[in-house]
Structure formats: C-alpha cells, structure tokens
Chains A and B, each alone.
Chain A
Amino acid sequence: MAGSTHASPIADVVVPLEGRPRRLSPGYEVWRKFRRHRMAVLSIAILTLLTAAVLFGPLAWRMPINEIDFTARLSPPSWEHPFGTDDLGQDLLARMLYGGRISLAVGFAAMAVAIIVGTLIGAISGISRGSVDAVLMWITDLFLALPQLPLLLLVIYLFRDFLKGWVGPEGGVFILIVLVIGAFRWMPVARLVRAQFLSLREKEFVEAARALGATTPRLVMRHILPNSLGPVIVAGTIDVAAAIIAESTLSFLGLGFPPDIPTWGRLLYDAKDYLDIAPHWALFAGAAIFLTVLAINFIGDGLRDALDPRRVM
C-alpha cells in the first residue's frame, strides 16, 4: 500500500542490532518486538501475579470460603478481612481467590475450544476450496450472525439440568459453559486460518515442498499450519478475555455457576443488591474482572504488534 501508516509505532521501527549481526530465532524476534510494547510487558507481569494469586493464594490465605459469621456481616475491608465480607459474613478475599480460579480456567479452556474448532474448520476450508469451502464459510457466516448471548442463555437453560445429573453440578456447568462459549467464538479464528491458508498455499516454499512429493497432510502440518499461527495466537489471546467476560455475564445474570461457586461474575450478581450499604463487595469483584481483561487485551495488542502488525482488531 502506498505509504500507509501502521496502526502502531512499533511496527515501523527497525531495531538496530548491537555488534555484528547474528542469527536470531523467530521466537527471540517476536520477543524483541513484543518487549517494545511497555503496557503489554506490564500486563504480563500483572496477569502472572493474578494467576499466581488465584493458584497459590488459597494456600496462603487459609480463611474458608463458606464460613458464615453473622457478627461480621457486610463489614468493609479490615485487617481481618482485607476485602471485607458479604451478607453472610463470608470472607471475600478467600471467595475471590477461589472464584478467580474458575473464571480464569473457563477463559483458557473456552479459548482452547475456540482455537481448535476454528483452526480445524479454517484449515479444511482453506485447503479443500470448492463446495466444501463454500458450505463451511456459509456456516461460519451464519454463526457470526447469531445473537450469541440469547443463544448462550437458551442452551444453558435447555441443557443445564441434563448435564448436572450426568457429571455433577460443578463439572456439568463448567463443561457446558466452556463448550458453549467456545462454540460461539471459533468463527473469527476459522476465517483467519482460511485466509492464511489461501495465501500460503500459493507461496513458493509450499510449491517447492509439493514438487518434492510432499503429501497434502504433510504440507498442511509441516509447512502451511505453522506459518499461519501468528494471527491465531493473537485472536486466541483476545478470546481468553472475551470468554472471561462471557462467563462473568452468565454468572451476573444468575444463570452461570451455582451460588456456592463464587466466580467473579457471581460475586457481582450477589453484590448488586447491596450496592448502597456494601459497595466494596461489587468493587473488588468488578475490578478483578476489569484488570484481568485489560491485561489480556494489552498482551493481545503487544502480540499483534510482534506477530501481525498489519491488523488492528
């Protein structure tokens, strides 16, 4: 494009190498560019801290999540309860650490589902062309036009009891939510992968491999797929944030996890009726969701600058 401006200054900068030029691994190259996005590096630190807190926090903060203490009802933050307590006097820090595990786990698991389904459909579509491609892309476009939240609610309403009886209340809701969120997030990935496949399959190095007698599966697995993963990684990062928001939304509407599993969205749902007398309850849970999502979005932005500087959203 004639003199277009990159969306981010990082993409424009040619980083001078100190000393004599040496061979850099692709991974190091990406890190070198990623490092220049200060907010993204800071966000990695924040996300690591948050993950460590929800993973190991319950080991250090040994307050039980469901100990009811009516004498400490709705108390604001104090040394005894750093994040305050809820309407039953349960310690909010302990509940948030425990609920954070679920929120983050749902985010990453749903991202994995979306990436796997999207890559599979995009790859099949991009390599086969013809009618298979047309049908798969029609389905992709149809899914993109579906009203996701209403359908998410509908599916959960219809299948919740069935799965509850099958794998237990917590596991059932977890599987259902992860599958359904994943099932509504794969379309952008499929489109990206297909676009990458369509351009890569005509490149010289693929041509060369084909001339050497490589079979189609080998071409896909060894040559095309690894080269098309850059945008997928970026989309996957953003998907984690979207999945965390989706899970919190469901819990916030009272249709996600059961009340005894305090995910961050569920805490907000319970807190919203006590907004006037105990605002700390809603603020800590909301801030946790916000901080996590913001950090993940910044990391996605940094990765995009490093891997795929032309795209913006």
Chain B
Amino acid sequence: MGKYILRRLIIAVPSLLGISLILFVLLALAPGDPFGELATNSNIPPEVREALRVKFGIDDPIFVRYLRWLAAMLQGDWGFSFASRIDVDKLILQRVPTTLFVVGSSQILALAVALPVGVYAAMRPYSIFDQIANTFAFVGFSLPTFFTGLLLILVFSINLGWLPFVYRVDIAATGWLWYWEYFKQAIMPISVLGLFQAASYTRYVRSAVLDVIRLDYVTTARSKGLNEGKVVIKHVVRNALIPVVTLVALQMPAVFGGAIITEQIFRIPGIGSLLIAAILANDTPVIMAVTFVFACLVVIFNLLADIIYGWLDPRISYR
C-alpha cells in the first residue's frame, strides 16, 4: 500500500507540471503587455521602462521565463496582489480553509444522500421508490447551482426570513451561539452544492449496485445464511463503490466549479469569490495563483480517490 501511494504521488507531479505549463503558456500567449500602462504614462521615461523590462526578464525566451516563474512559485513567492495590497500567498491561505469547509461538507452531504438512496433504489429496480428517486436525480442535476442558490435565498431568506444570505466570518457571538450562527449561514450554500452533486452520485451508485447485485458471489453470500444487511453492506456496496470512486474523482473539477458559483452567490469569503473579484479588478497575480491552487486541489482530491480506490480493491495496489 505504501509503495502504491508513493507511485500515485510520483504520477501526480507530471500532471501538476503540465497544468502549470498550460497556465503559463496561456498567460504568455495573451495579448497585452504587463507594462502597457507604464508606456502610456508620460511621467516614466523610456529608459526606466526598459530597465524594468530587463529586471523582470520580459524579453527572455519563453522557457527561461517559465522556469523562473516555476522556481518562484515553488519557493512560495507568488507575487503581490495589486488590488488587496498583500502578498498573494497570504491572501490565499486566509481563504482556502473556508472553501475546503464548504466543499468538504457538501461532499459529505452528497454522499450521505446518494449512497442510501442509490443502494435502496438499486435493490428494488423499477419500483415506485426507484422511479421517484430517478426523477428527483434528473431534476437535481438539471437545476444549475446558481438558480437553486437564488431560489433558496428567495424562499428562506426573503420570504421566510429564517436564514441569513450573506456568509460572515466575523460573527458577533461566542460559545454555542457562535456555532449556531455559523451552522445557520452554512446550511444554504452546503445544501445547494451538496444536493446538486447528490443527484448525479445517486445515479452512479444505483447503476454500480445494479451491476454487482445479481452476481454469483452475492447469491453465495445469501445462501450461506448471512442476513440481508450484511450482504448489502459488506459484499455489494464495497464492490459497487469501486466505479463510484472513479466517477466521483472525475467530478472534482465540476465540484470546485460549483464552489465558485456558490461562494459568489452567498458571498462566502473563499478562494472562488476571490477569483471572481480578482478578475473584475484585473489582478493578474491573484488570478494565476488561485487557478493554480484550484488545479492543485483537484489533483490532491484525485490522489485521495486513488488511495481509497487502492483500499477498496487491493488488487490494484499490488500491481
């Protein structure tokens, strides 16, 4: 298992390098000169501009610039945010925990809904429950998160007035009250993101369980006299989860995309809303860094999925 994890880690490095190369090439190909505004400013003499260009190495060949940029990123020198007047790495570190909290809780919610519903629907294929679950799943992943977010705000914040629709970091309460306030403001964003994912996960789980539930080894387990719950949990679900883990890992980019939208709607101070704010403020260092952090998060979660995969199916980790 240790060797397997190490191998997965080594495979993750080229994909991170590939992503960083794509990012850098995009930035280099983009029209517009980072010193363009200096050119129009008559207070800066051309010699100073040239000196700045040489100092930052704008005219070097592209691969030299890429290596230098990569070295700076690795050393934690991520640049300086023009808009926030703070180092980019500090800015991002402040906000990553919020995003991870929202994304993590929504994934737990999604699996907590999808696993029981999907398994139960697959145990009784084509039954009324299955049909209702299927219809809800279709409605669920056809409702875009930005629309469900607005609907929830309309119902629970504006009409009923139960939940706040702005996510606050500085809650003016202490002790249990603080947790209660935090819980109240997190309900809507987490359910928007979680239920959207739950809809597609339910279909994955259902079809994966359908694939294994009639296999001979399950019949064997039943004929040994095991009770139904044990058969389902130990024999059916464990094997059915293997393809589900792959599909969930493939959904990770979409999950983080959904997080950006949710953070924007509920004004959650995570890296998603930071990205949007940076784009609107033309804050290039922040945009590059946040995109790269998103890429890293996706790679890390894929790595996690690989490890779970190796645990569920030991044959894979012994290869």
Contact = CB atoms under 8 A, between A and B. Distances in A.
Contact of A248 (B146, B252, B275): B146
A5 interface: yes
B215 interface: yes
A4 B206 CA distance: 13
B126 A148 contact: no
A294 B135 CA distance: 10
B26 A158 contact: yes
Nearest to A147: B294
Given A2-B216, A145-B299, A161 B32 contact: yes
Contacts of B276: 153, 253-255
Nearest to A152: B257
- Contact size class for B? 35 or more
Interface string A129-154: 00000000000011011111111011
Interface string B222-248: 000000000000000000000000010
Contacts of A153: 260, 275-276, 279, 287, 291
B245 to A, nearest CB: 14
Q: Name the prevailing secondary structure of the A interface residues.
A: helix
Interface stretch (B56-64, B74-82, B147-155, B181-189): B147-155
A154 B291 contact: yes
A38 to B, nearest CB: 11
Name the residue among A144, A241, A253, A255 with the largest chain B CB count within 10 angstroms: A253
Interface residues of A, number: 53
Contacts of B23: 154
Contacts of A245: 144
A51 interface: no
A4 B214 contact: yes
B203 A268 contact: no
B214 A5 contact: yes
Interface stretch (B14-22, B37-45, B90-98): B14-22
Contacts of A57: none
Given A157-B287, A313-B203, A150 B256 contact: yes
Interface of B: 15, 18-19, 22-23, 26-27, 29-32, 122, 125-126, 138-139, 141-144, 146-147, 150-151, 153-154, 158, 200, 203-204, 206-207, 210-216, 247, 250, 252-254, 256-257, 260-261, 264-265, 275-276, 279-280, 287-288, 290-291, 294-295, 297-299, 302
